[in-house]
């Protein structure tokens, strides 16, 4: 795991939290497979990621804070993340029906060159 990859991923989180979609999309491969934390499965391609986040940010305001980085045995980067989900007025959510909840999760980034080709989410152990 290179320091450049870690720094890029930190910038991705900062851009996501600032709602700067274009900054994040710039480091995704054209055919990226991106985990859909709200509905399950994956969305495919940059435009699908843009559509997913646009839809998500219209109903909730998630914030993700990376706290630990680790290289997996197969070369991916696992990031332990504290995920907080708020309503559009900044209040913590209650009784949410979607899959996004306040919790610690692990995000898995698979890289090819300087692009992210796959992003997965798993519950932290």
Domain boundaries, position 50: 3-123
User: How many domains are there within the chain?
Assistant: 1
Average pLDDT over residues 34-39: 90
The candidate with the shortest Cα–Cα distance to 79, out of 44, 116, 49, is 116
Q: What CATH number corresponds to the domain at position 34?
A: 3.10.450.50
pTM of the predicted model as reported, rounded to 2 decimal places: 0.87
Q: Mean pLDDT over residues 67-79, rounded?
A: 96
Taking CA atoms, 15 is separated from 3, 47, 96, 124, in Å, by 18, 17, 25, 23
91-118 pLDDT, tens digit each: 777 655 544 556 789 999 999 999 999 9
Rounded CA gap, 56 and 74, in Å? 31
């Amino acid at each position: 795991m290179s320091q450049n990859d870690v720094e890029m991923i930190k910038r991705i989180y900062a851009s996501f939290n600032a709602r700067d979609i274009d900054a994040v999309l710039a480091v995704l491969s054209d055919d990226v497979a991106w985990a859909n934390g709200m509905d399950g499965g994956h969305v495919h391609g940059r435009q699908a990621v843009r559509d997913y986040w646009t839809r998500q940010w219209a109903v909730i305001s998630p914030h993700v804070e990376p706290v630990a980085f680790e290289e997996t045995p197969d070369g991916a980067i696992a990031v332990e993340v504290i995920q907080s989900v708020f309503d559009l007025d900044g209040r913590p959510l209650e009784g949410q029906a979607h899959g996004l909840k306040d919790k610690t999760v692990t995000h898995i980034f698979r890289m090819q060159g300087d692009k992210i080709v796959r992003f997965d989410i798993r519950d932290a152990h």
